Structure 1
């Protein structure tokens, strides 16, 4: 709901676009697409691990979830870097943070994530030999397939989480250093500091609460599956823990509307502009309705004349 409304506001106020606005727009799209895959997973776990929707939907839903999950990470990294340029290198920011370059970065992010996530399209539904259930979203039992998943996990762990997290940490360290150095400034500078700190808090919460537990638990789970001495109860416990941390990762879409509102560049201004524009449209429609519903002058005069004749 929050991301849908944010996307609607961003699209309605697109004329006020900036590089930061373009990243927010793509982040909102990514979050909505990520959330749209969750009902299929909920249905799967409600059916107690039985997949009934076919191999194609299994592949697409797994692929779409990871594409949009890691696109969100990269767009948050791009937004942090844009804020870093605006505060630490304001002169260079005018040349580097243009709308055209922001769109190029967004296209590169989508293409890179869609390409590197393509192995998820190769693993569809499979039958569990122990329970004879049709499985999806779970690693197969074969050691060969599990080995490929472990390699893919380490790639996504490093490229999709550790590197963006380090980039964001470096950006925020530079931002805080610059802001603390310039403590005596005008009200506009103080507002910039507050906005930057809000963004730091929201993004760090998103990474520490949403992404970090999932990546740690997913790595442990895959290595646990690769063990030969793991018993059934331990496997079930690890699977449940991965599902819980995946819910936390998907909950990142709940943090992002806070990111738009508290630290988004002029997002609250866009929201007020959107509200004024909507109010003007409603007011115009009411005015038109009043004009259409009011009788013509001649008819009003005729009614008053008829009324006076009746009174007389």
Structure 2
């Protein structure tokens, strides 16, 4: 506590990064909102249209897209907060839910990716057992378990809401903890670092190592197995890039930053650099909602084919509504696709 009090007293002499923070957050969250809504919205349309062809992998993708949409829909509130120069006007309940939604999405995304990786692993490494172990019903139960586990374990983020800054008289939200709250957040950070990030990431790495080993041993496999292998490789690349760009920098930086806050022997330049790195890595973490549509497009089961089918169906319906363009040749591609 003495170290924390000393840090806070010294921190008042450092220049504020509010202008940098407000500018970066408002700009980044605006782009993430647009791309996230478009990408995940389009994905949900395709996934719902093809729901009759659902598979365990399809179930995980739908839940991942829903999680991303719920998170992206709260980002405009953050944009308004930072455009308004750090003044919150939407009530304590909305403040808590907005903070909570970001972390629920973050860890649901990690766990859904882990579940998808295990599904691909079983399909490639144990193709016979896969038919018995992996079913749509079990995938739904796994998704329910993930939602319940993440929502309950993220509930501490509901404990901190809005407050009034005594120096500026502004109502604040999404601000870092101070005093005794810092010690609680340190414990929560280590718990989430192990259960929310390290454990599922280790599962993903083990699955990918097994997949790559089997694919290398099947260099002369049949065409069907090669297609499955190509989907698996695309998924491996996208998931690992998402972890390296979004999840890993955020968790590493958050752990370093919280440890940094408990120290009193820090300079002003170090504090400013650390605060700016918090802003950048949190934006990268929120951007995972934009990367997930790439996962649906490049590794989803028939996602591109279904998307093309929907586009051709719309073109076909447009041609049928226009008498001058209604020809047999124009309708053949739609019939062949369906």
TM-score bucket of the superposed structures, by smaller chain: 0.7 to 0.9
| Alpha-carbon distance between aligned partners in 2 of 1:47 and 1:168, rounded to the nearest angstrom | 41
Which residues in structure 2 correspond to 1:265-276 (within 5 Å)?
A: 265-276=301-312
Q: Answer 1 or 2: higher relative contact order, Cα 8 Å, separation at least 6.
A: 2
| Alpha-carbon distance between aligned partners in 1 of 2:173 and 2:237, rounded to the nearest angstrom | 35
Partner of 2:46: 9
| Alpha-carbon distance between aligned partners in 2 of 1:206 and 1:184, rounded to the nearest angstrom | 30
| Alpha-carbon distance between aligned partners in 1 of 2:211 and 2:168, rounded to the nearest angstrom | 54
Which residues in structure 2 correspond to 1:33-112 (within 5 Å)?
A: 33-112=70-149
TM-score by length of 2: 0.80
The equivalent position to 1:199 in structure 2, one of 232, 235, 240, is 235
- Cα shift at 1:114: 0.5
Partner of 1:126: 163
Is the deviation greater in 189-198 or in 270-279? 270-279
Contact 1:66/1:117, CA 8 A, preserved across alignment: yes
Residue 21 (1) aligns with residue 55 (2): no
| Alpha-carbon distance between aligned partners in 2 of 1:194 and 1:156, rounded to the nearest angstrom | 33
Structure 1 gap ranges (5+): 291-312
Q: 1:285/1:16 Cα in 2 relative to 1: closer, same or farther (>3 Å)?
A: farther
Q: 1:151/1:256 Cα in 2 relative to 1: closer, same or farther (>3 Å)?
A: same
Describe the SS at the equivalent of 2:161.
coil
| Alpha-carbon distance between aligned partners in 1 of 2:305 and 2:85, rounded to the nearest angstrom | 47
Describe the SS at the equivalent of 1:53.
coil
Q: 1:235/1:137 Cα in 2 relative to 1: closer, same or farther (>3 Å)?
A: farther
| Alpha-carbon distance between aligned partners in 2 of 1:164 and 1:138, rounded to the nearest angstrom | 28
Larger radius of gyration: 1
Q: 1:54/1:233 Cα in 2 relative to 1: closer, same or farther (>3 Å)?
A: farther
**1:253-308 CA deviation, whole Å, 9 max, x = no partner?**
22211111111122122223323443444445456xx9xxxxxxxxxxxxxxxxxx
Partner of 2:178: 141
Which residues in structure 2 correspond to 1:177-256 (within 5 Å)?
A: 177-230=213-266, 234-256=270-292
| Alpha-carbon distance between aligned partners in 1 of 2:77 and 2:303, rounded to the nearest angstrom | 32
Structure 2 gap ranges (5+): 1-37, 327-338
The equivalent position to 1:260 in structure 2, one of 266, 288, 296, is 296
Partner of 1:151: 187
| Alpha-carbon distance between aligned partners in 2 of 1:225 and 1:132, rounded to the nearest angstrom | 24
Q: 1:50/1:225 Cα in 2 relative to 1: closer, same or farther (>3 Å)?
A: farther
**1:81-123 CA deviation, whole Å, 9 max, x = no partner?**
1111110011111112111111111111111111111111111
| Alpha-carbon distance between aligned partners in 2 of 1:54 and 1:116, rounded to the nearest angstrom | 24
Describe the SS at the equivalent of 2:177.
coil
TM-score by length of 1: 0.86
Q: Give the paired residue count.
A: 289
Residue 175 (1) aligns with residue 233 (2): no
Q: Provide the aligned C-alpha RMSD in A.
A: 2.1
- Cα shift at 1:217: 1.1
